């Protein structure tokens, strides 16, 4: 890395997998923009932690499902750091366990707006800043998909699984679209990872309930996903684009 330290924006960076990515990225020398939507305290505490260890970070509020918020968030990163080298589309939500024949249109719209449109809006803004076509110097995007994209999540949340299937297809298409413009686009598919997302979907005991289905017979840690993301972002992955890496204990 030459010149100023690279700048990374992590959506939903204040907690869970996103926070692990921010921590690891700061240790690797990135300046980190930590996006959050409601938990300001968690994002602020993470920024303090990174700064205490000599890193550079700032917290930026915004709902990735709102175009106005996405534009304001990228403008805030421009103002703070003056460049953008990497984006991790990590922000994502689940919903309560339900069958498709029980799902309201409002639920489906929220799921797709945050998980799919949010990631696409953020990728659009990142490409405008990083692509050589737009005068940028290149960069990398990693989308956080899910093992659910391949499993389908029948009886649990097929809408969530389908939103992650869309992320997989988006990853391949955007990767090919910008492949000659210095921008690599990849994804990770985490399996069952120990974060608060399961409780947020009304299933605090979900990990214990499905641990036995994982070939490795254990849940993953957010840090194990972060390692894969940091590799995909790095120059060590210079020939990897459109790549989708399962980080799921074999599931």
Residues acting as catalytic residues: 160
If the CB atoms of residues 42 and 127 are measured against ligand NAP, the closer one turns out to be 42
CB 161 within 8 A of CB 110: no
* Through-space distance between the first and last CA atoms of the chain, rounded to whole angstroms: 35
DSSP SS3 for 9: strand
Q: In the bound complex, what is the minimum distance in angstroms from residue 157's beta carbon to ligand NAP?
A: 10
If the CB atoms of residues 183 and 207 are measured against ligand NAP, the closer one turns out to be 207
If the CB atoms of residues 88 and 178 are measured against ligand NAP, the closer one turns out to be 88
* One of 14, 55, 139, 165 touching ligand NAP (CB under 6 A): 14
Q: Which stretch binds ligand NAP (CB under 6 A): 30-38, 76-84, 125-133, 179-187?
A: 30-38
Record the tokens describing residue 98, joined without a space.
Answer: 């339900």
Cross-strand pairs, 8: 32, 86
String of contacts with ligand NAP for each residue 175-204, x by CB under 6 A: ---------------x-xx-xxx--x----
Backbone dihedral region for residue 153 (phi beyond 0: left; psi -120 to 50: alpha; all else: beta): left
Asked if residue 35 binds ligand NAP (CB under 6 A), the reply is yes
Radius of gyration of the chain (CA): 17
CB 60 within 8 A of CB 76: yes
Asked if residue 249 binds ligand NAP (CB under 6 A), the reply is no
- Compute CA 197 distance to the chain's CA centroid, rounded to the nearest angstrom: 13
**Dist. CA 158–CA 53, nearest whole Å:** 41
Asked if residue 122 binds ligand NAP (CB under 6 A), the reply is no
Q: In the bound complex, what is the minimum distance in angstroms from residue 182's beta carbon to ligand NAP?
A: 26
In the block, tokens 């969530």 appear at: 160
Asked if residue 247 binds ligand NAP (CB under 6 A), the reply is no
Asked if residue 59 binds ligand NAP (CB under 6 A), the reply is no
List C-alpha distances in Å: 213 to 157, 207, 219: 17, 10, 10
Asked if residue 42 binds ligand NAP (CB under 6 A), the reply is yes
Q: Which stretch binds ligand NAP (CB under 6 A): 1-9, 33-41, 99-107, 149-157?
A: 33-41
* Phi and psi at residue 84, to the nearest 5°: -145, 130
Q: In the bound complex, what is the minimum distance in angstroms from residue 3's beta carbon to ligand NAP?
A: 30
Beta strands in 76-176 (DSSP E): 86-89, 139-144
Record the tokens describing residue 144, joined without a space.
Answer: 């956080």
Scanning residues 85 to 114, which ones bind ligand NAP (CB under 6 A)? Answer: 90-93, 114
Q: Which stretch binds ligand NAP (CB under 6 A): 15-23, 52-60, 126-134, 234-242?
A: 15-23
Q: In the bound complex, what is the minimum distance in angstroms from residue 105's beta carbon to ligand NAP?
A: 18
Beta strands in the chain (DSSP E): 7-10, 31-36, 56-61, 86-89, 139-144, 183-190, 244-247
In the complex, the residues that contact ligand NAP under the rule CB under 6 A are 11-12, 14-18, 35-39, 42, 63-65, 90-93, 114, 144, 146, 190, 192-193, 195-197, 200
């Amino acid at each position: 890395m030459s010149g100023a330290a690279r700048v990374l924006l992590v959506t939903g960076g204040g907690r869970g997998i996103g926070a692990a990515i921010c921590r690891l990225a700061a240790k690797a020398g990135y300046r980190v923009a930590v996006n959050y939507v409601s938990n300001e305290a968690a994002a602020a505490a993470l920024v303090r932690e990174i700064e205490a260890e000599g890193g550079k970070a700032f917290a930026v509020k915004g709902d990735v499902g709102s175009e106005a918020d996405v534009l304001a968030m990228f403008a805030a990163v421009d103002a703070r750091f003056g460049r953008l080298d990497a984006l991790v589309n990590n922000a994502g939500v689940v919903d309560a366990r339900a069958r498709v024949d029980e799902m309201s249109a409002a639920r489906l719209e929220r799921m797709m707006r945050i998980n799919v449109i949010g990631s696409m809006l953020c990728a659009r803004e990142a490409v405008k800043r990083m692509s050589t076509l737009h005068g940028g110097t290149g960069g990398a995007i990693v989308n956080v998909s899910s093992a659910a994209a391949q499993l389908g999540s029948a009886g649990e949340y097929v809408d969530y699984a389908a939103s992650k299937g869309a992320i997989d297809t988006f990853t391949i298409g955007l990767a090919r679209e910008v492949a000659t413009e210095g921008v690599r686009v990849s994804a990770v598919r985490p399996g069952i990872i120990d974060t608060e997302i399961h409780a947020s979907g009304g299933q605090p005991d979900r990990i214990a309930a499905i641990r036995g289905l994982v070939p490795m017979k254990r849940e993953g840690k957010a840090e194990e996903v972060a390692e894969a993301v940091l590799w995909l972002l790095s120059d060590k992955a210079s020939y990897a684009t459109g790549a989708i890496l399962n980080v799921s204990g074999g599931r």
